[in-house]
Structure 1
């Protein structure tokens, strides 16, 4: 969920809402696998083929810190690639392998993976066959990822699938970009991030 909030006519406006502000307690794993202070756009060196804007990640992290002040640091591991289908995230694909590699790298410094935030699926609505296969493919993806990370109960915050330890967030009604009927606007991304934070805190 690299985020297209604030992207207009192929250019990011640069506007960062207050809910997505940077702070020293929120880190991101960069493309070269080093930790740095997180700032929008989170996926600037990860999703290189797209114009990245605001996504839900920073709003999620800021909301968690605001409501759970005992946490000293949140590490975000951006891995999203915009415009991809769930089939492109199957085990053995480049996006999947990068996700596993980056997740393992994040653990090397003694960190803990607390949850996977998953907001994807727009590309699977273009063909009826892909839409019909989406649930099965997503379920296989989640099971493969939990297996390959040796985290059988990895909490997952996403849109809609019924699996153990998977919490659903309803994105219906979130504001879309004016010229794009698929991607969320900046306010939509912020609200999604807060909803995911609330779901995480309630469930885990």
Structure 2
């Protein structure tokens, strides 16, 4: 998830131990595509200036990381895309994800887990869980990840896609070491008056923390 709600000053307080692999060239942040820099929103497209779950995921997770270690985020979301866009067979962005992940590995990074929130564009598609399974298995194989935790997030309960959460919650039965993060109590961004699908700023903060808590649990930290 790239995010929609605008980032706030509190989100831009950085931690030198949290890095992000540049999603694009962002002159305002001095960020360069496919190069590491200190993480600060937006983690995804510069023009969005949005906060996503990755921001507070990392800020929460860093409290459990040994003092000499860092967290490297490799953002790979594209707004509005179906799962098919990211798949190895027929998708246009699978190699892009793999190449970015390999940059992280080749620079000394170890991929400990994957967080994922997608589904609005596949709302109600009963083949979606199987496609997610295929994508995850292909990534784990091609990047030699083993069974690292894969954590999926639910969609907003108040949105027209709320019914898709039944499919989101099927993922742990199909994917090894898979967990689901609840969207209970989270709300739509007030500026999203058309789609009514996007999480509010504060909900993104909570969502990121929930992803982190689940990852901490999955890693046994």
Instruction: Report the TM-score when normalising by structure 1.
Output: 0.85
Counterpart in 1 of 2:179?
167
Q: Is 1:169–1:195's contact at 8 Å kept on the other side of the alignment? A: yes
Unaligned runs of 5+ in 1: 7-13
Cα deviation 1:15-62 (Å, max 9, x = unaligned): 2435x63221111111432111111011025xx7xx351101110111
- 1:85 partnered with 2:82: yes
Q: Map 1:1-204 to 2 at 5 A.
A: 1-6=1-6, 14-18=7-11, 21-30=13-22, 31=24, 32-45=33-46, 51-70=48-67, 72-92=69-89, 93-125=91-123, 128=124, 131-159=125-153, 160=168, 161-162=171-172, 163-178=175-190, 179=193, 180-204=195-219
Count of aligned pairs:
188
Q: Normalising by structure 2, report the TM-score.
A: 0.79
- Return the offset for 1:67: 3.8
Which consecutive segments of 4 or more residues in structure 1 shift more than 4 A?
none
2:159 maps to: none
For structure 2, the 5+ residue unaligned runs are 25-32, 154-167
Give the Å deviation of 1:164: 1.3
Are the aligned partners of 1:175 and 1:184 in contact in 2 as well (CA < 8 Å)?
yes
Contact kept? 1:81, 1:95, Cα under 8 Å: no
The answer for the alignment partner of 2:164 in structure 1 is none
**Residues 174 and 71 of structure 1, relative CA distance in 2, 3 Å threshold:** farther
